[in-house]
Structure 1
Amino acid sequence: MTIATRVFYRRIHFLHATHIPATGPVILLANHPGSLMDAALLGLLLNRPVHFFARGDIFKNKVIAALLRTLHMHPVHHHLDGRSSIHANDESFDTAIGLLQAGEIVLFFPEGFSHVDYYLLPFKKGAFRLAFQAMQKTGLPSLPIVPIGFHYTHPKALFSSVWVLASAPIETASWYSGYMHSPAKTVRQICTTAFQAISAITIQVEKNRAKLLFNLLELFRTDPGYQGLLPGQQWQAEKELSRFIQDCQEDQLSVYQEYFTLRDAHLLKEEWITAAELPGSTRQLAWICWPIALPGLLVHGIAIYTAKQLADAKVTRVDFYAWILVAAAALLDIGLHLVLFILIAALFSLTPAVLFLAASMLAGWISWKSAPYLLVARSRSKCKKIPADSLQLLRAKRAKLMETIKVFLA
């Protein structure tokens, strides 16, 4: 699963990780744009197990429940599920308190639901009550609550990037006396503080401006100046651009939308236009990479292709797509290699079977390194069908828009 996640996301940027204590109990609070992938990424990035709570209904199947618990997942139930859910949630609270008492990390998604929108839903207050109850029951002098922000460049695209940002811990010790005198008021106040902290490390824009911002960010990332920035600087530039779009007047937004309307009318994607403008040497290198990458594509591509077909056919929610694709690709690839390993060992001996696995891993690594060049070759061919005058007009509008947004690279 770790390798599959590293393959899906070409770049995983973990910023301000030192805000998360290396030892002792910690509560992590995060926005929730990527379903189970959010928790999987934190488990990958931290050198400690991350326990997190997911909707109780996905634990109904005993086999699935057992599998989820091996991934440090625990059920939490909605009050609308009925009176039985209240008792079940008491057990969940006890589980969480026990984990914190044992010095573990517990992750909560206070929005309650996963969604890909560029805004936060109102926070549920259960995690904050839990923090104070854990201090009461265990005698912990303080329990740090660390805000976490996830920012994905694309919810579905292979070889996309993701930023994971940590903010300064909210120390519950300074709130504890207030909680003892006025629990409800203190929980509301610390909930507001956490909401503001996560807002500061996530992209926030009104729903009717989200698509334009998404398109602008895609264009923004193709600029060489942006690509030369450090990950933290890239994130800050994207945050500034989102603030600009949020504050922009409606008439100005329509001007920015012109290029994307024309692009969509020709059924083009941003990466296709970017590839068409690359120098000839880069395009030639793309074709050279095909024979080099072919062995890895043959060995590992079957699993990835099958997983993608499965995700395209079965996944109806965008926020679940990456997790299903990565999990399915990992399981299929492991299964295929296990069958081939056993077959080679049975027909020949153990040595060639081990050599096959080593060669397969090397071929996969070469294919992964070659993937950007392969995508260039594929993308460039998409623009050849567009009339030259239309493509020229499109490039002119693109260049003008790029000059407008490049100010955020300063």
Structure 2
Amino acid sequence: MKSLWLHSVRLYIQIGMFFYYKKIIIKGKTNIPKTQPVLFLGNHQNALLDPLLIATQSGRFCYYLTRAAVFKKPLVSRLLKSLNMLPVYRVRDGWSTITKNNLIFNKSVQLLSNNNAITIFPEGSHNLVRRVRPLSKGFTRIILEFAEKFPDQTIYLIPVGFNYENIKEKGSRVSIYFGQPILSSSYNNLSTVEATNLLKQDVFEAMSKLTTQIPETNYEATLQQLQDLNVDFTNPEQVNACIDNGFENCVSKPNKASFIKILLQPLVYLILCVPVIIWRTLVKPKVDEEEFLSTFRFAICLTLVPLWVLVLCVILFYAFGLIIASIGFSIIILLMLVYIKS
């Protein structure tokens, strides 16, 4: 029953992603083992959309280590746990809660020993900056405990790079780079301190090659220069080469305006007037962290937009019959597809 639930949710989110993004580019998917234990380790820029992209594009059903704060409400907690999310406690949640992580880490080790996949964002928090931030050591603890309990097994550590064309906007492009596996067994013969430091270093370097890595020094100036050059942020190899070469021989993406999108926007917004108004007046003003803007917008697209389209079709059905309602539904879907994909 749970398998059916997970398949259904993944399919629904995949459809939502298809309508939300202009294009989703996947690189390195062949690097992901299909049946071995896998630990996905990605940079974390876009709140809930990062794990949702792994869930829908990796080909593996995953467990997700998620900050415990989102589990506070019983109904939400039950839903999240049904989607294989596991709460992880941080110092800000209170020192008394930190010991609860022991159970979560133990469970993670057991899941990996049974050839499951787990997603962790080792930066420890999300941030819109276009670089991999220093990694926390929580993920290394799972790896080292696994090595101690199951020395004959190997976890495939898959570094992941998320590259958003425009993090805050719908209808943009995103690329996901899955890197070459790093084998956990390579660190088995090292001391705890040596293994921890080397794991953090190796994973950091691998992740940095899979996403744009703008140095912290002069970050804003560098970002502005890249934007002025109109680089393709979904291609981290090109962008990082541009930075390394002092902004010489940088590859710019075609700068063409979509007149179709400009023409269709008023019509699409008119059709979806109720979800748009709810988003702009009730939801968006209450989003305190800008990293969550896309997450809440996607949630509106995933819930209110289909519901509103259904309401419109029901009105058409009772007013004009099944044929007109079917034609109306087809036109709405076609308009939204052309608007998003153009």
| TM-score computed with the length of structure 1 as normaliser | 0.69
Q: Are 2:152 and 1:143 aligned?
A: no
Q: In the alignment, is residue 6 of structure 1 matched against residue 18 of structure 2?
A: yes
Alignment of 1:335-354 (within 5 A): 335-343=307-315
In the alignment, does 2:45 pair up with 1:45?
A: no
Of stretches 348-357 and 308-317 in structure 1, the one that deviates more from structure 2 is 348-357
Distance 1:324 1:139, change over 3 A: same
1:85 aligns with 97
Q: CA separation in 1, counterparts of 2:242 and 2:333?
A: 40
2:192 alignment counterpart = 183
Q: Give how far 1:83 is off.
A: 4.4
The one-letter code of the counterpart of 2:201 is T
- Structure-2 separation of matches of 1:288 and 1:143: 45
Q: Name which of 281, 295, 305 aligns with 1:323.
A: 295
Q: CA deviation at 1:17?
A: 1.8
Counterpart residue number, 2:79: 67
Q: 2:229 aligns with which of 198, 201, 220?
A: 220
- The answer as to whether partners of 2:151 and 2:188 remain within 8 angstroms in 1 is no
Contact kept, 8 Å, 2:171 with 2:340, in 1: the verdict is: no
Distance in 2, Cα, partners of 1:209 & 1:167: 28
Report what 1:159 is aligned to: 171
- The counterpart of 2:210, out of the listed 201, 204, 210, is 201
1:331 Cα deviation after fit: 1.2
Aligned-partner Cα distance in 2 for 1:2–1:288? 23
| Distance change (3 Å), C-alpha of 1:289 and 1:128 | closer
Aligned CA distance change for structure 1 residues 349 and 137 (closer, same or farther; 3 Å): farther
- SS for the counterpart of 1:145 is strand
Change (3 A) 1:340 1:97: farther
Deviations 1:27-73 (A, max 9, x none): 01111111111111111212222221111111111112123234332
Listed as ranges, the gaps of 5+ residues in structure 1 are 249-270, 371-410
Whether 1:211 aligns to 2:224 is no
Q: Percent identity?
A: 23
User: Whole-Å Cα distance in 2 between the matches of residues 289 and 35 of structure 1?
Assistant: 29
Provide the secondary structure at the position in 2 that maps to 1:203: coil
For each residue in 1:75-101, what CA deviation from the matched residue of structure 2 results, as whole angstroms up to 9, or x when unmatched? 100145334323321221133223323
Specify every segment of 5 or more residues in structure 2 that has no aligned partner in the other structure, as ranges: 1-12
* Higher helix residue share: 1
Aligned amino acid, residue 242 of structure 2: L
> Which residue identity is paired with 1:242?
I
Letter in 1 for 2:104: S
How many residue pairs were aligned?
325
Residue 57 of structure 1 is matched in structure 2 by 69
Q: 1:298 to 1:170 in 2, by over 3 A?
A: same
Following superposition, the deviation at residue 338 of structure 1 comes to 3.6
The 1-side partners of 2:179 and 2:338 are apart by 36
1:177 counterpart SS class: coil
Which residue, 156, 172, 177 being the options, matches 2:184?
Answer: 172
In 2, distance between residues paired with 1:114 and 1:54? 11
**More off after superposition, 329-338 vs 360-369:** 360-369
How do 1:355-374 residues align onto structure 2 when only pairs under 5 Å count? 356-370=328-342
